[in-house]
């Protein structure tokens, strides 16, 4: 959420920001109106509490002096009831206030392109040449099935749609990708953390909005736990309530985890294969930094992602998320998309975001600056989500004989240092 004080002081800016996102700015007015009522009530309650505290003190003094307190106690008895009534009113207002607050989005960076939806996200960079094939190409599902390195029939039987069995060389390629990405981030000086994959519902709910939660998160019934959709959540949760020392910032961390997503209403979840699944492996980067550094860190995170793509020799482009497509908690965001020769399109494989202090305000993650505590800024970016990168490798590096060449950078990570997947042994 945004800082309430900031909304009070900058209503025009908040509304203008919403207009740029093609959202109804009326929410800001509704919020301010309710907020004013809340504050007024708050002041009343404070006065009542003050009266009560004073009377209690009087009773205490009178008692100690050995005086009869019956008369004062009788007087004091009415106040708690009035307070209680007002507190109930206040709680009601609070309940109205929170959803309104959640609807007011983070203030976008001035560089964010204006656009209605994802069709208007501009391409800001393109790297690598899409491969040319002298033979009819297969998509990754056909490659997997012809080489026997994945089984989607078996996973459909065991778990339903959106799962997969990886077998043999492909399962090993998956592990190679994870190791490659972990080594890469480690060399960049990021700190490696393996996190819980289940979080308490309320902890998880603090990192994303209610709608997003309902659409993506699997809950573990009767346990009050939920499976993470990305290690971003568990990494943020790791630092909930933390106060960093200024010398420890920027705090650059990364994690490998399995991720679980319901993908309710998502396009393509019924498609067979590895592109969109309920369960996948991801190496994730997260940075906590001083507010003035967050756009510098944004550039660094993007550079990391691009280097990974370039090292794997995968053709990609970078698109910037336009105002209308930008999630409420982000001020700026970009996707790295990989070339898919089978669809002749680029598809999302990495997602970079600067969330500034919007998430962190709920989580209360701060930096101590000479005795003053300030909220940090939080950023996140994919390092490598293996299933989609495997799709890209299988499709871009396929050979005429049906085999697939392992990208050079991954060969050292493959058992036996094999250079080709699917070669008859």
Partner RNA sequence: GCCACGGUCGCAUAGUCUGGUAUUGCGCAAGCCUGGAAAGCUUGUCCCUUUGGGAUCGCCGGUUCAAAUCCGGUCCGUGGCGCCA
Token pair listed for 114 = 């204006």
Q: Can residue 67 be called a binding residue for RNA (CB under 7 A)?
A: no
Chain positions 1 to 20 lying near RNA, rule: CB under 7 A, are 5
User: Among candidates 91, 84, 93, 86, which has minimal Cα distance to 37?
Assistant: 93
Q: Can residue 63 be called a binding residue for RNA (CB under 7 A)?
A: yes
* Residue that has been written with the tokens 């997503």 in this structure: 261
Specify the residue, 227 or 352, whose C-beta has the smaller distance to RNA: 227
Token pair listed for 311 = 């090292």
Residue environment code for 227-256, b if the CB has 16+ CB neighbours within 10 A, otherwise e:
bbbbbbbbbbbbbeeeebeeeebbbbbbbb
CA dihedral 167, 170, 175, 178 (to 10 degrees): -140
3-state SS class at 165? strand
Q: What backbone phi and psi angles, to 5 degrees, belong to 128?
A: 85, 160
CB of 79 to RNA, least distance (A): 6
What DSSP element (H or E) covers 109? none
What DSSP element (H or E) covers 78? helix 78-103
Q: Can residue 50 be called a binding residue for RNA (CB under 7 A)?
A: yes
Which listed range, 76-84, 124-132, 182-190, 258-266, lies at the site for RNA (CB under 7 A)?
Answer: 76-84
Asked if residues 216 and 261 have their Cβ atoms less than 8 Å apart, the reply is yes
Among 19, 77, 303, 417, binds RNA (CB under 7 A): 77
User: Among candidates 35, 33, 34, 15, which has minimal Cα distance to 25?
Assistant: 15
Which listed range, 71-79, 115-123, 311-319, 341-349, lies at the site for RNA (CB under 7 A)?
Answer: 71-79
User: Among candidates 305, 312, 380, which has minimal Cα distance to 336?
Assistant: 305
Specify the residue, 67 or 408, whose C-beta has the smaller distance to RNA: 67
Among 24, 46, 183, 248, binds RNA (CB under 7 A): 46
Chain positions 226 to 255 lying near RNA, rule: CB under 7 A, are 243
CB of 370 to RNA, least distance (A): 5
Among 6, 37, 52, 311, binds RNA (CB under 7 A): 52
Site string for RNA, 79-98 (x = CB under 7 A): xx------------------
CB of 84 to RNA, least distance (A): 8
Site string for RNA, 163-202 (x = CB under 7 A): ----------------------------------------
CB of 13 to RNA, least distance (A): 18
Footprint of RNA (CB under 7 A): 5, 42, 45-47, 49-50, 52-57, 59-60, 63, 73, 76-77, 79-80, 243, 370-371, 373
């Amino acid at each position: 959420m945004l800082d309430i004080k900031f909304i009070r002081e900058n209503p025009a800016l908040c509304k203008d920001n919403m207009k740029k996102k093609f959202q109804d700015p009326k929410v800001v007015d509704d919020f301010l109106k309710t907020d004013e009522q809340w504050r007024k009530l708050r002041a009343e309650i404070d006065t009542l509490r003050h009266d009560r505290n004073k009377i209690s003190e009087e009773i205490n003094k009178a008692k100690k002096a050995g005086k009869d307190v019956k008369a004062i106690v009788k007087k004091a008895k009415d106040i708690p009831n009035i307070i209680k009534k007002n507190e109930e009113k206040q709680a009601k207002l609070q309940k109205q206030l929170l959803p309104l607050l959640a609807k007011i989005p983070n203030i976008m960076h001035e560089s964010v392109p204006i656009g209605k939806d994802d069709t208007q996200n501009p391409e800001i960079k393109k790297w690598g040449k899409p491969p040319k094939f002298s033979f009819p190409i297969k998509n990754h599902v056909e490659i997997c099935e012809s080489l026997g390195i994945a089984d989607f029939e078996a996973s459909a039987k065991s778990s339903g749609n959106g799962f997969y069995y990886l077998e043999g060389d492909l399962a090993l390629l998956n592990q190679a990708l994870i190791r490659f990405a972990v080594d890469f981030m480690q060399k960049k000086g990021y700190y490696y953390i393996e996190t819980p994959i289940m979080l308490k519902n309320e902890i998880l709910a603090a990192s994303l909005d209610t709608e997003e939660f309902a659409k993506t998160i699997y809950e573990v019934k009767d346990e009050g736990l939920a499976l993470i959709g990305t290690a971003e959540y568990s990494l943020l949760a790791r630092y909930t309530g933390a106060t960093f020392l200024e010398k420890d910032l920027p705090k650059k961390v990364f994690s490998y985890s399995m991720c679980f997503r319901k993908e309710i209403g998502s396009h393509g979840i019924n498609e067979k294969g590895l592109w969109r699944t309920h369960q996948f492996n991801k190496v994730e980067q997260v940075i906590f930094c001083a507010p003035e550094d967050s756009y510098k860190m944004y550039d660094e995170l993007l550079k990391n992602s691009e280097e990974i793509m370039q090292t794997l020799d995968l053709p990609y482009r970078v698109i910037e998320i336009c105002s209308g497509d930008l999630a409420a908690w982000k001020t700026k965001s970009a996707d790295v998309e990989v070339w898919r020769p089978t669809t002749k399109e680029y598809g999302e494989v990495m997602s970079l975001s600067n969330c500034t202090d919007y998430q962190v305000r709920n989580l209360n993650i701060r930096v101590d600056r000479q005795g003053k505590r300030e909220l940090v800024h939080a950023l996140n970016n994919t390092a490598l989500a293996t299933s989609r990168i495997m799709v890209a490798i299988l499709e871009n590096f396929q050979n005429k004989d049906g085999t697939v060449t392992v990208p050079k950078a991954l060969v050292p990570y493959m058992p036996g240092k094999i250079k080709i997947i699917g070669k008859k042994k």
